[in-house]
Structure 1
Amino acid sequence: MQSDSLSMKKRPFFLRWAWREIRQGQLWLVTLALSLIIACVFALSALVSRVEGIIVSQGRSALAADMVLKSSQAVDLQKLSTNKVTTSQQTRFGTMAFSDNGMQLVSVKAVDAKFPLRGDLRLQASDQSMHHHVNPGELWLSERLFSLLDVKVGDTLMLGDGELTISGRILEDPELSFNPFSQMPAVLINNQDIAAIGGIQEGSRISYRYYFSGSDSDLADIRETMKLTPSQRWLTENDAGRSGDFIERARQYLSLTLVLVVLMASATLVLTCQHYASTRITSVAMMKSLGASRRFLWRWLLQQIAVVFSVAIGVGLLLGFGLEWLLRYPLQQLLPDELPTIGFAPLVISLLLALFISLPALGIPLSRLVNASAMNTVQATQTPTSKFSAIWLLLIFPVFAAVWWIGSNIFVWLTLLGMVALLVLLALVGLAAIALLQKIKLGSAYALALSRVNRSKAKTATQLAALTCSLMLLAVIGLLRNELLADWKNTLPADAPNVFAINIAPEQQQAYLAYLDENKLERSEGYPVTRGRLVAINEERFYSNEENSSEEQKADSDSENSRSRDESLRRELNFTWAKTLPTHNEVIVGKWGSSSGVSVESGVAKRLNIALGDKLAFTVGGLEFNATVNSIRDVEWRNMKPNFYFIFTPDVLQSFPATWLVSFRVNDQQSDLLNTLASNYPTVSVLDLRMMATRIQALLAQVSWSLTVLAGLGVLSGLLLIMTLLRLSISERQTEIQLYRTLGASRKRIAATLWFEYGIIALLAGIIAAIGAEFVVGLLVVKGFELPFTLHPFMWLGLPVLAIGLVYLVSRSQIKKLLLPLR
């Protein structure tokens, strides 16, 4: 009973002591570092969770479902559907539409009444009422067809072999595609009306799409049970069309930003914990000299840490909620009304990461503190350390957390590995630079500062590495954000083409282009187009027509050559020829020739193992011909410009019949020009992509703003952490400054010495960080995001200036405080 009573009396004492330690500044830096880790991880992971949810939602809305099966053959949907998954079906085919005043080739999308499963289908009837699904007997036309066919709502339109009454116009279709050849003027009907119009005939080119909506686990089960044929593939928000590229890059950048911010906070926590342990050595030694046991010391320290954690959790979560709200506030106009929920994941992740990081950060220095000798009350001595101590096993926790959290994110691992390799190099460069600076004579204060730096090389290296890494991480976050946004801006600039004209007859080509030039429309070059197939590479033939080849042939083909499954071999492609290659294509291998040659797009060349000098065989209209690869081009498929897998020299293809293609841009005030073109050239198909381009621009704007805000938070967090590091470093100089004053040094001399010392460290950190950031960003951009890399000369000046500016801001107040008691 007496022991329990004594324990109860000790507990408030320990708590009061711990609170006094925080209040008086001994533990506030540790508390601040932990609070920053919890706040930043919570805010960033919460916003990343929301933004990823929005990105996924946008991507799935563009699919009209959570997952889509695209097939050239009908599939028994009942075998795939379950009670937990909602399904829908669409059949696509082309046919002619006839009115009393015209005719037009249209793309028919026959859907059921449940379409779409995601996104918004907006259909406007004659009474201005809005509909969102297609019912049997209804016919909905895209806006342009009303002028092309000279019809109005309520008229009868002959579609194929049947007649349907026009129900209204299509204002918005959620499905999104970057392929202009799939954007024929569209009509929507119900699946039940396919038979009435005779849409499916023997030999018809039919495309089927099966839509699924449900939980990720249920969708994964469906994918596992479905064995795909070469003519089938799954579409998700990541690989549907070209939009999946920037969606995936955005997701990777969000994760990378979060990891880098945690790294900066963790470095600060480690240094603050070491600082706290070093300031408590005298207190621990005094306790030991008075008979305190190691058990008592551990209880004393752990109760202080428990109070620190409690305060840090409260402050960190409060700041985290506030930061997450502040991050969302600028995006209110871009974010949907109903935001995705964040769940408990950000809370769990922030607390677990703080715990795993703090275990070695606090455990290792506190262990050394408890083992400090009682002789430290008389004379400072080094704490004996063995070659191996079980306490170092605590490092397993952050390592395990990193492996579990980062997973297979190649961008983050590239960054971390690059940093580890650079740390050694940076240390050597920093020491070499300091040695060179000793040869410069700038007075006694400068010499004293360099002497101080050289005398405490370990501490100087720690300060230099911490400041350098923080600056480097800030630069990496900002530069990667700029690289991604620049890539997206170049991909789909504001003046990108938004109309394609295809099937221009050769005799119409000159007049058509002249009309565009007369009306001052920005246009591309005219491209002749013919359709054909790639059938062989270096006399190795492919069985691309599954319907006409036996199962044995297909099995042999697949076993001998896995590339025969590539989509480019399973369908007809658009070929063109030209004297010169398009200016928006970059030749990366080889050189464009003038005869018997073909230039190959880099993606298909990589997938099919096509190299320079390979002999390729093609067929057009049943006629086979050969061409030799003379160059490989890098093509940006998302820029909505005419692009081709294969471009031939004129002598190879110009003898084949072809139609012409051109892209151009019209604004909202030039819509009448499209109607005039359709009237003057009724056989030319004009593909109006303005609605699609607007939706893509909106999606890009939303993701761009999200990345900007996240990068801003990362930079702000990094700046706060750098300033904390500088304050911590300068505050450690109190004893040394008192010694200088005792020896007669003036306040002016001491201040100048400190300015020189930290100015030199800041200058070196800024320069070395610029070198490291260029290396890491180059590695990530080229190997990770697969983008071209350019140097960033503004950073070479910006980082040193930023580092010196931060040192000035922090040192100005801190140095005054250090010198104040000595007046």
Structure 2
Amino acid sequence: MTDMSDTRVITASANHSLMLKWTWRELWQGQLWPVAVALTLIIACVFALAALVVRVEKVMVAQGRSMIAADLVLRASNPISPDLIAQAQRQGLVISRQTRFGTMAFSDSAMQLVSVKSVEGNFPLRGELSLKTPTGMHHQVLPGELWLDERLFGLLNVKPGDSLAIGDAELVVSGTIVQEPELSFNPFSQMPAVMIHADDLARTGAIQPGSRVSYRAYFNGADNQLAALQQAVTLTPDQRWISETTQGRTGDMLDKARQYLSLTLILVILMAAATLVLTCLHYVSTRTETVAMMKSLGASKRWLWRWLARQLAMLFAVAATAGITLGWLLEYLLRVPLHDILPDPLPDMGWTPGVVSLLVAGLVALPGMGIALIRLVDAPAISVIQQQVDWPVQKRGYWLLVLPLAAALLWFGQNTLVWMTLAGLLVVLAVLAGLGVALVLLLKRGQWGPAMTLALSRISRSRMATGAQLAALTSSLMLLTVIWLLRSDLLADWQQTLPLDAPNVFALNISPEQREEYLSTLDAEGVIRSDIYPVIRGRLTHRNGEDLLAGEREEQDDALRRELNFTWRKAMPVHNTLMEGRWGEPGSVSVESGIAERLGIVLGDTLTFSVNSQPFTANVSSIREVEWRNMRPNFFFIFAPDVMETLPATWLVSYRVEDGQSALVNRLGRDFPTVTLLDLRTMATRIQGIMQQISLSLSVLAALGVISGLLLVLTLLRLSMAQRRQEIRLYRTLGASKKRIAATVWGEFGIMALLAGVLAAAAAEVVVAALVKWGFELPVQGHPVIWLVVPVLSLLLVVVIIRSMLRDLLEPVRS
């Protein structure tokens, strides 16, 4: 009994070993390895992008809150009510207050208009304040201290330890403001900064009735506490909440980059899923006889499912291991270019990317492989002696589609960009199929040689199959083209909004008497500058007699809550685009398109404005498109000269200072002490660096998307060639020469590739235009080069596949 038991164990072990070897051989030699590659790509892409998105979102929230110096900020033009502060304290929030105003700073030999920030000792609540003294670094402002923007030391000719008059207060200069968390990109409200402690504010005596003062309250706490405070407080007309969701220029770029990451992820998953489905269908066709033979030898469906389950388990294990490893490496490559804008150490990505990537791969593989394998297990045993083209298949497998569809609904939710893309792809797929068949039928009417005639006859024999093949091939080429074009359009837009020659210094508050001398100095130094603009601050009050300020504060547009900067010109700025109307009619005003849309302003409307409490009107004669991110002087309203030129105004000019011209900025500050200089060189360099870094990450991702598309195209062509094996055998049996067969194959696939390339280029233009206009809100532009590149790429792929497979296809029938 013992010997028999040992024998059974040995036999079972041997059988198990043989089954594992068979499973492994079936995995890599039985057409399942492309499925493993497709699953690996899905897992790697989802892991990398999920990890990057988790990190970037955490960084964006942290950086966004650092840039406002708190979790939440209340900005007001009047002192903030003590009741509001008490309410915040009762909710357990940490509070810091700031008062900001403009005044003159006087040294023994100079004076300068400055922006004073009176802060409490715990400022900032988020981010870092760096203050430098001759003896070291400090990170908070104490009573009696005075900290200056670095540029003020040259303008006022002072050094640490010297006395400086801020209003009525004499304060000793403590050191330099090296870094403060709050950043503002409004050139019209910038002056060199001075920081003092809140205890010294009363000593300055600078705040008088009618003074322009801004008040801020900073709050830190849990999100639910902050939300409760916002709900409990009724804002007055001069108050406004500021949070990290108020995005600046870099936030806009990161947001669009994240949109691109998500969209590319979807397209890569679609292409990898298509590769998986096609490969599984081919696997079913190649293993039907094997399954039929095993059934004829007594194998049950249960045994067959165990046999397939071993293969699938081994396949998924290999794909999961390779995918997670490749995903980790890919995530590292994606964030290497972002090293300078990501904090050190990085936020922890947790287990989410790994779990999500495996879950997505499982949801994609379940219907993609399950439906095909159910068909394989249902193959009749008679197929071993008589090939069965089709056999009844149980419909239960199609219920597997419910799981990924339900997951997609939960995952994407109200993401209109994704749903718009998927719907567009379905429509394009149907159109491409019909258009491809129509073009083939049109070509068939022409006069061709025998090989080409046979090729066209072969293509048009089954319109449904031809349409499906053309649509699949065209769609795959289109998807990889879309990925690359979207990347190119995003980078082109960022480069256009902040070109390398963008202005990096603004000169404000230039008096009419200083205007010509200031411009002459810039021109003498060969500095690239903008036109000079007169600037007057005022408010829009009425449209066609309707009081625009009469509504609730929350319902008003932000442009109605504050004073705006007005200017006048005879000619439209070259960096603006006229959308409607005519420029410069007497008594007219040109309106920026965004505010016109928000406020319902149209051509012919009469607008009423107020400057220094003096009302005046102007008729809307034109609507302009303005790119606010290009760091050039831009305005909501530009008037005809006759409307405003009699009003007192100061002047504004922007210019670009190159490396080595720093002395010019200091000299202009000394020669024109009343002119406010806003030096944006550090900020502009930072933004351009971020653009370059993000562009590298997008390029890495786009390359991955293209690889996925190429894999799908190669799979399609490879499977199509494999399906020709039986037909080639028949042609040779009927006496067709190898040369004639080769010419027919070249003609058939050449036509398919050329048609697919042209249709893919056209479809990609349409899809990208729609995504760019309604998804990313960028200007639409054409891409003529893809009309050549995509068809050529398609033909090259066909050449590679045919040259690698045609000889093997002809080999079995050689005599």
Give the alignment's TM-score, normalised by structure 2.
Answer: 0.92
The answer as to whether partners of 2:121 and 2:140 remain within 8 angstroms in 1 is yes
Q: 2:578·2:625 contact (CA, 8 Å) conserved in 1?
A: yes
1:528 lines up with 2:534 in the alignment: yes
Alignment-derived partner of residue 306 in structure 1? 313
Q: Distance in 1 between matches of 2:228 and 2:703?
A: 40
- 1:71 pairs with 2:76: yes
Range that drifts further, 294-303 or 644-653: 294-303
**1:133 match: secondary structure:** coil
2:505 maps to 499
1:547 match: none
Alignment of 1:40-189 (within 5 A): 40-73=45-78, 74=80, 76-77=84-85, 79-80=87-88, 88-127=96-135, 129-189=136-196
1:681 maps to what in 2?
672
Secondary structure at the aligned position of 2:502 is classed as: coil
Match of residue 419, structure 2, among 413, 420, 423:
413
2:457 matched residue in structure 1: 451
Q: Deviations over 1:668-714 (max 9, x none)?
A: 42223233323333322222222222222233233222222222222
Select 1:627's aligned residue among 618, 632, 650. Answer: 618
**What secondary structure, in the 3-state scheme, does the structure 2 residue paired with 1:763 have?**
helix
Q: Which deviates more from structure 2 when the two are superposed, residues 766-775 or residues 698-707?
A: 698-707
- The alpha-carbon deviation at position 537 of structure 1 amounts to 0.8
Q: Does 1:36 align with 2:44?
A: no
Structure 2 Cα separation of the partners of residues 743 and 223 of structure 1: 84
Answer whether contact 2:91 2:225 (CA < 8 A) is retained: no
CA contact (8 A) 1:52 1:251 kept: no
Which residue identity does 1:447 align to in structure 2? T
- Deviation, structure 1 residue 478: 1.3
2: CA distance, partners of 1:817 / 1:216: 66
Q: Which residue identity lines up with residue 465 of structure 1 in the other structure?
A: A
Contact 1:238 1:247 in 2 (8 A): no
8 Å CA contact 1:470–1:722 kept in 2: the answer is yes
Contact 1:159 1:197 in 2 (8 A): yes
The residue aligned with 1:508 is 514
Alignment partner, residue 344 of structure 1: 351
Alignment of 1:564-579 (within 5 A): 565-579=556-570
Quote the residue 1:546 is aligned against: none
Q: Which amino acid aligns with 2:304?
A: L
1:154 CA displacement:
1.1
* 1:254 aligned residue: 261
Shift of 1:170: 2.1
Determine if contact 1:56/1:237 at 8 Å carries over to the other structure.
yes
Residue 101 (structure 1) shift: 1.0
CA distance in 2 between partners of 1:82 and 1:467 (Å): 64
Deviating more after overlay: 235-244 vs 575-584? 235-244
| Secondary structure of residue in 2 paired with 1:532 | strand
Give the whole-Å Cα distance in 2 for the aligned partners of 1:16 and 1:37. 27
Separation in 1 of the partners of 2:198 and 2:42? 55
Q: CA deviation at 1:44?
A: 2.8
1:44–1:710 CA contact under 8 A, matched in 2: no
1:756 is matched with which residue: 704, 725, 747? 747
Give 1:100 shift: 0.9
Provide the residue aligned with 2:790 in structure 1: 799
Structure 2 distance, partners of 1:572, 1:182, is 11
The structure-2 alpha-carbon separation of the partners of 1:440 and 1:144, relative to structure 1 and needing over 3 Å to count, comes to same
Deviation, 1:239, is 2.3
Provide the C-alpha distance between the structure 2 equivalents of 1:470 and 1:61, rounded to a whole number of angstroms.
43
Aligned counterparts of 2:14 and 2:234: Cα–Cα separation in 1:
71
Q: Is 724-733 or 343-352 further displaced after alignment?
A: 724-733
Q: 2:628 aligns with which of 631, 634, 637?
A: 637
Amino acid at match of 2:269: V
> Partners in 2 of 1:710 and 1:221 — Cα distance?
41
Change (3 A) 1:222 1:775: farther
Which of 16, 19, 24 does residue 24 from structure 2 map onto? 19
**Whole-Å Cα distance in 2 between the matches of residues 624 and 515 of structure 1?**
37
Q: Deviations over 1:275-311 (max 9, x none)?
A: 1122222233333334444333333333332232222
C-alpha separation between the residues in 2 aligned to 1:210 and 1:802?
Answer: 59
The answer to which of 518-527 and 26-35 deviates more is 26-35
Q: Which moved more, 1:703-712 or 1:214-223?
A: 214-223
CA deviation after TM superposition for structure 1 residue 564, in Å? 5.5
Give the corresponding residue for 2:729.
738
Query: What is the aligned partner in structure 1 of residue 205 from structure 2?
Result: 198
Residues 138-159 of structure 1 show CA distances to partners (whole Å, capped at 9, x for unaligned) of: 2211122112111111111111
Q: Partner of 1:92: helix, strand, or coil?
A: strand
Can you give the 5+ residue segments of structure 2 that lack an aligned partner in the other structure? none
Q: Is the CA contact (8 Å cut-off) linking 1:563 and 1:607 kept in structure 2?
A: no
Pick the aligned partner of 1:397 from 400, 403, 411: 403
Q: Secondary structure at the residue paired with 2:623?
A: strand
8 Å CA contact 2:143–2:199 kept in 1: the answer is yes
Q: Is the 1:781–1:787 Cα contact (8 Å) retained in structure 2?
A: yes
TM superposition shift of 1:136 = 2.9
- On the 8 A contact 1:414/1:779 being kept in 2, the answer is no
Given that 1:598 and 1:649 are in contact with CA atoms closer than 8 Å, whether structure 2 keeps it comes out as yes
1:778 matched to 2:784? The reply is no
SS in 1 for 2:600: coil
How much has 1:242 moved relative to structure 2?
Answer: 4.1
Output the amino acid matched with 2:524: E
Please say if residues 337 and 697 of structure 2, whose CA atoms lie closer than 8 Å, have aligned partners that are also in contact. Answer: no
How far apart are 1:185 and its partner, in Å?
A: 0.8
Residue among 635, 651, 661 paired with 1:660: 651
Summarize the alignment of residues 803-818 of structure 1 with structure 2, pairs less than 5 Å apart.
803-818=794-809
Show the counterpart of 2:322. 315
Give the drift of 1:316. Answer: 1.9
Shift of 1:69: 3.5
Q: Secondary structure at the match of 2:719?
A: helix
2:756 and 2:62 map into 1 onto residues whose CA distance is 42
1:474/1:714 contact within 8 Å kept: yes
- Is the contact made by 1:67 and 1:219 (CA closer than 8 Å) also made in structure 2? yes
Write out per-residue CA displacement over residues 196-245 of structure 1, whole angstroms, 9 at most, x where no aligned residue.
32354444333233445566666556555555444333434442344433
| SS of equivalent residue, structure 2 residue 184 | coil
Residue 429 of structure 1 corresponds to which residue in structure 2? Answer: 435
User: Structure 2 vs 1, CA of residues 651 and 147 (structure 1 numbering), >3 Å: closer, same or farther?
Assistant: same
Contact 2:279 / 2:715 at 8 angstroms: preserved in 1?
no
In the aligned structure 2, how far is the partner of 1:57 from the partner of 1:810?
A: 50
* Preserved contact between residue 503 and residue 683 of structure 1 (Cα < 8 Å): yes
Deviation at 1:247, TM superposition (A): 2.8
Moved more, 415-424 or 698-707: 698-707
Please give the alpha-carbon distance, in whole angstroms, between the structure 2 residues aligned to 1:60 and 1:817: 63
TM norm structure 1? 0.91
Q: 1:695, 1:672 → 2: CA distance?
A: 21
- Return the offset for 1:598: 0.7
Q: Is the 8 A contact 2:35 2:279 kept in 1?
A: yes
Structure-2 residue corresponding to 1:484? 490
| Separation (CA, whole Å) in 1 of partners of 2:563 and 2:45 | 51
Q: 1:548 corresponds to which residue?
A: none
* Offset of residue 629 of structure 1: 0.7
Quick check: 1:14–1:304 contact (8 Å CA) kept in 2?
Answer: no
Q: 2:810 and 2:54 mapped to 1: Cα distance?
A: 48
In 2: Cα distance, 1:52 partner to 1:715 partner: 26
SS at match of 2:661: helix
Aligned residues: 805
1:330 and 1:185 map into 2 onto residues whose CA distance is: 33
Q: Is the Cα contact below 8 Å between 1:529 and 1:574 reproduced in 2?
A: yes
